[in-house]
Amino acid sequence: MTSTTITGNERLRAAMVAANVTIEGLADHLGIDPKSVDRWLNTDRTPHARNAEAAAKFLRADAYHLWPRLGERHRAAPTAQDEVVACYPMRSTVPYGLWRSTLAGATTVIDLAVSNLLFLADAVWDLPTLLADKASAGVRVRLVTPKDPAGPVTGLDDVFPSLLTVPGLRLSTHPGLRADVLCADDDLLVTTPIDGLTPALAPVLHLRRLGPAPMTGGYLATLDHLFATATPVRPVPHLRAVAA
């Protein structure tokens, strides 16, 4: 009896069919050559952990189900370096569309800890609409800003007044907020403050959570702590004139 050798990845093929994603579409989303995706499908090739996790997220599947040998090749516990997607020397060098596309790709969680709302208003021009759409689709959306923002026009009611009335958003303030952390599912964009530098000149890390999250875990824990100790923001009711 001759055994059959399976060289194709039927789990990946089924996930792509279910998500209606082509080889070219998946390659374009990951920013890689379509030939690489073709090799994943038609040979026993296992991608690098970063690409595997990104592809699985895009297909709404589990990376270790699609590639069972992923843990053997890349260790069951990724290192902190594995979670670093990119590092930018300052905010202006971050690809402009990355801020919005990261939020737009979220399907479960959006957490924003923002010390500079004016920057966010410029980076994500339709933020109120985007967050409202995500919240209505079932995404958990939380936003925390400084309790006493510096400058005359940097408060939430000044920069994003319409957010105060969007249902499903958890809005809060915190007195100890310094860094800017944008979290969308497993992706984080973190501005790392440096004493003596303005936030615009501080480095920015693009991180992607893998496994036990050796690098991103600290930021995720910080976000949970911020929201647990923050003060909820409640819209101030408008007074209506009452006829005597």
Contacts of 21 (CB under 8 A, 6+ apart): 29, 58, 59
pLDDT band at 103 (very low <50, low <70, confident <90, very high): very high
Q: Any idea which of 10-24, 136-150, 153-167, 227-241 has the lowest mean pLDDT?
A: 227-241
Q: Please give the pLDDT value at position 2.
A: 43
Angle CA 127–131–135, to nearest 5: 175
Instruction: For residues 36-40, give the mean pLDDT.
Output: 92
* Mean pLDDT, the chain, whole residue set: 84
Q: What is the per-residue burial (b if ≥16 Cβ within 10 Å, else e) of 53-80?
A: bbbbbbbebebeebbeebbeebeeebee
Nearest in space to 45 (alpha carbons), one of 32, 58, 57: 32
Give phi and psi for 73, each to the nearest 5: -80, -40
Instruction: For residues 20-44, give the mean pLDDT.
Output: 90
State yes or no: pLDDT of 70 exceeds 80. Answer: no
What type of residue is 221?
A
Q: What is the pLDDT of residues 121-130, one digit of tens each?
A: 889 999 999 9
Q: Which residue has the higher pLDDT, 176 or 237?
A: 176
Q: What is the pLDDT of residues 154-212, one digit of tens each?
A: 678 888 888 888 888 999 999 878 778 999 999 999 998 788 777 788 899 999 887 77
Give phi and psi for 194, each to the nearest 5: -130, 130
Question: What is the percent of the chain with per-residue pLDDT over 90, rounded to a whole number?
Answer: 36
Tell me how far CA of residue 112 lies from CA of 115, 219, 226, in angstroms. Answer: 10, 12, 10
**Distance between CA 168 and CA 131 in Å, rounded?**
9
| Sheet of strand 84-88: strand arrangement | 84-88, 204-208, 187-191, 180-184, 109-113, 140-146, 169-174, 231-232
Is the full-model pTM beyond 0.85? no
Q: What is the pLDDT of residues 47-65, one digit of tens each?
A: 888 888 889 889 988 888 8
